[in-house]
Amino acid sequence: MSAAGSTAAEPTPQIRGDLYDFTFGRRHFVVDSAHGARITRFGLDDANLLTGPEVDMLNYGSTFWPSPQERWGWPPVPELDSEAYEFVEAPAGVSGFQFESRTGMRAKVSVSKLIHPQVREDTVEITYSLTNEDTAQASWAPWEITRVPASGLSFFPTGERTVNTALSVVEQGGISWYLHDPSKISGDGQKFTGDGAEGWLAHVAGRNLLVKTFTDVPVDAQAPAPEAEIALYAARGYVEIEPQGPYTALMPGASLSWKVRWIVAELPAQLSAELGNQELVDLVRKLVR
């Protein structure tokens, strides 16, 4: 099974039931179409940088929500987050593999996810499309929520403002850092939201580095507070790393499109994954060029 417009250089997924497994080189990228077309695996060789349901039955892998959350509350909108997506052929001339949701009941939008492994760059590009299925104009921002295992290091270039500071983030050298310590998390968890810069968000787990890149969003184009361009949410068993795209007014039937590129790399032997390490920042900036 392949999508229209794909090339010989692009991997065709191995399909195991509802799982679409894209393997290229040392990289494994898995989408579960039966559970919100969630990304459930990304890593090098046998490593997986994402958490599974054994950590939290509801909150695992990488999903997509419309922002702001206050419009739909909790739990997440099942049609978008956890119910089955349909696999469809990508539009003519478009490379990738596309999955489409049903319309949400508590958020009147539908979502499509176009997965495009880019073998020559050793990256995966994800294009999210969000369509206003309501009868009135509505404004939404695209929002990617990725759960990574406990005790890692998350960081991003510091932007112009912070919004929610319940989760303590350290600013050093123009970079905002969060080192996860499960013993310091109380209750259901804590959250940080704020502006970023440069259009990237990174996380280190062991010797593996996950980087997301996206178009940087000016403060005046972000969803209303308490939302922001960057969010980190820490529970005891995992951390969520969450970029958001621009807050966009959509007429009925109109759509927005937002791209996020995922990169995974192995840290050089001499590089230490420590808070404030400028060499770690330099490595990320080299990868995102």
pLDDT digits (tens, 9 = 90+) for 142-173: 999 999 999 999 999 999 999 999 999 999 99
Bridge partners (DSSP) listed for residue 262? 124, 212
Helix residue ranges, H only, the chain: 78-81, 278-288
What pLDDT score was predicted for residue 9?
A: 61
* Geometric angle at alpha carbon 28, from 25 and 34, rounded to 5°: 150
CB burial string 158-190: b at 16+ within 10 A, e below: bbeebbbeebebeeeeebbbbbbeeeebeeebb
Per-domain residue ranges of the chain: 14-288
> What is the pTM (predicted TM-score) of this model?
0.95
Q: Assess whether the previous peptide bond of 243 is cis (omega < 30° from 0).
A: no
Per-residue pLDDT at 5 exceeds 80: no
Query: In the CATH hierarchy, which fold is given to the domain comprising 14-288?
Result: Beta-galactosidase; Chain A, domain 5 (2.70.98)
Confidence of residue 254 (pLDDT cuts 50, 70, 90): very high
What pLDDT score was predicted for residue 86?
A: 98
* Rounded percentage of the chain residues whose pLDDT exceeds 70: 97
What pLDDT score was predicted for residue 76?
A: 98
Distance CA 235, CA 30 (A): 24
List own/partner pairs for 1-4 with CB under 8 A and 24 or more apart.
1/87, 2/97, 3/89, 3/90, 3/94, 3/95, 3/96, 3/97, 3/98, 4/89, 4/90, 4/91, 4/92, 4/93, 4/94
Q: Specify the residue for token string 């109109």.
A: 254
SS3 assignment, position 119 = helix
Greatest extent of the chain over all pairs of C-alpha atoms, in Å: 57
Q: Which amino acid is at 23?
A: T
Distance CA 212, CA 285 (A): 11
* Mean pLDDT of the region 123-140: 98
pLDDT digits (tens, 9 = 90+) for 13-29: 999 999 999 999 999 99
Contact 99, 15 (CB under 8 A): no
SS3 assignment, position 205 = strand
